[in-house]
Amino acid sequence: MRSCRATTHSDLATLKDPILATYYCHKHGKICKPLFTISNWFYRYSRDTIKRLKEFDQLRTNSYQICLSGDSRNINILENLREKSEYFYELVKENKINGIFTSPPYVGLIDYHEQHAYAYDLFGFNRRDDLEIGPLFRGRGIEARKSYVEGISEVLINCKKFLVDDFNIFIVANDRYNLYPEIAKKSGLKIVNQFKRPVLNRTERDKSAYSEIIFHMKRR
C-alpha cells in the first residue's frame, strides 16, 4: 500500500503533497511517473505471497505464535493469552518467556499513526494517538525525552513480570540523546553489550545515513 500512493519513489515516508504527473526521480536518476493503478502490484505481490506461503509451509517448525494487541506499559500478557489459547497460556505460565527483541519508536522522529493512516481508514482500526510513546507531535525537547524515558521504562518493567530470571532483552534504538542508560537503570536492568548497526538505505527523501545501537540488557 505504501508503494502505491501518489508520491515519488524516493519519498515514501514523508509525503506532504500528492504527485500526479511525471517527475525527475532522485532514486532512479531518470524521469518517472507515479502509479495510476495498483492492479499490477496487487497481482505481483499476491503471487509472491502465495509462493512464500508454500515455501514457509515446507520450512515451518513446530513452534507457536500469537499476536497480542494492547498497551505494552500495562498489558497482562498471561490474561490476554488465556483469552486466545488456554494451551499457550499454560505453556507461558509454567515456563515464562525467554526474552524480548524489539525496536521501539525513536523520540520525536515519526508520527506512526499518520504514516499508516491508510491502514486505519481501510481496515477500520481505532486510532490511539495519545498512547503512542515518543510521537512526533511532542517533539524532542526535554519534556518529550522525560516522557519517552518514563514510557519505555514502564514497558520494560511490565514485561519483566513475564520473563524467566535469566532473560535477554535486545533493543534497537537510535539513541542520539543517550537515554537508554537511564532507561535501563529505571527498569532495573543493566546494559551488558552494545552492537552498532549502520542504517544506509532509507525511504526518507534526505537519505541521511545514521547508526543505530542494539542494546543487550539483562536483569540488574
Encode pLDDT of 168-206 as tens digits: 999 999 899 999 999 999 999 999 999 998 876 655 555
Architecture of domain 96-220: 3-Layer(aba) Sandwich (3.40)
Query: pLDDT tens digits for 99-126?
Result: 999 999 999 988 888 888 888 888 898 8
Task: Report the candidate in 202, 178, 177, 210 with the shortest Cα–Cα distance to residue 191.
Answer: 178
Q: What is the pLDDT of residues 122-156, one digit of tens each?
A: 889 889 998 999 999 899 999 999 999 999 999 99
CA 21 – CA 172 distance, rounded (Å): 38
In angstroms, rounded to a whole number, what is the distance separating the alpha carbons of residues 152 and 88?
26
Which cell is 55 given? 515455501
Residue 157 has pLDDT above 70, yes or no: yes
For the chain, which residues make up each domain, given as ranges? 1-63, 96-220
Q: What is the pLDDT of residue 8?
A: 83
